[in-house]
Each structure stands twice: as C-alpha cells, then as structure tokens.
Structure 1
Amino acid sequence: MTAPATPPSPEPRRLSDRDRALLAMERLSWPGPGAKERAIRERLALSPTRYYQLLNALLDDPAALAHDPVTVNRLRRLRTTRESHR
C-alpha cells in the first residue's frame, strides 16, 4: 500500500509593488503628520484615508509579515493598543 500523495502547497502570495511601498513608507520617520500625508499623496498617489485602509488590510496578510516582520508586528501592536483604548 502506498502513502497518499500530498497535494502541492500553494505558492505564497507575493506582495505587489504598492504593498511594498506602503510598508516602506511606514519604516520611515516623519517630522510631523503633515509631511507624511504630503508624501503619501505625492509618492503613492493615494489619499491618506485610502492609504491607511490599505495598510490596515495589509497588516493581516501573511505575505506582508514574511516580507517585513518588524514593521508589520510594530503596526499590529499599535493597532491593538488603539483598539483597546476605544
């Protein structure tokens, strides 16, 4: 009797250029919120609201965690802290 064949594991999702750019933006330090919002509009052509929506969804993506675990874990901790204060 032969062992059942294991199905091939699906290839992990690759982050898009935009996803990598969102994480890169979060690795930078900013002198104030105005500078970051301006950079979001100029570099990514996104409104700050849309940027944070995409970033929040990205934090739950295993591919993002694999790509930049330090940034993703830091942002997850901040999100959890903010949620607990609400």
Structure 2
Amino acid sequence: MTDTLTTTDVPLPGMPTPPDLWAVHVQAADELVPFLDRAEAEKLATFLDEQDAKERTKNLPHSVFYNAKLIEWPYSRDEFAEALREEAWA
C-alpha cells in the first residue's frame, strides 16, 4: 500500500464541473486557491484587496501586494480535486 494520493484515489462526490469551480489567483505569489463556493472565493479576494489598499497607503519599501482576482478554475476537474487536497494539508 502506498501513501501517495492521486486524483482517482479519493473522488470528491458531488463536486461541480467547470465553470462552477472557482479560484482566487493571488498574482504576487502566482498562487491559485481553489474554492467550491464562489461567495467564499469572493470573500478571500476582497479581503486580500483590502489588505493591499492598506499596505499601499503606507509606502513601505518592502510591502507585499497580493493583487487577488476571482477567476473560474482554468484547469481540469481532477486538477481542482488535487488542489483542494493540497490546500487541506497546508
């Protein structure tokens, strides 16, 4: 038995198909955060954008700007399932 999971090892029953799969693209980190719920994805993108606005007013030389955008998941359903599993361990 192996400890390695693949997208076919643990199916995610009831998972919608694209375009009902969402992600927040955090452009500064070039990171995609998967979401099954668009409203939850919008909350994260809004939160990160609000943090950006606060940081930009400080004019600090080492500020990190997130520049988060809500997008439809751009990859396959299997890749979405794998990304969800990875996020669960983060």
TM-score (norm 1): 0.28
Whose strand fraction is larger, Structure 1's or Structure 2's?
Answer: 2
The structure with the larger Rg is 1
From the two aligned structures, give the one with the greater helix fraction. 1
Query: TM (normalized to structure 2)?
Result: 0.27
- More contact order relative to length (CA 8 Å, sep ≥ 6): 2
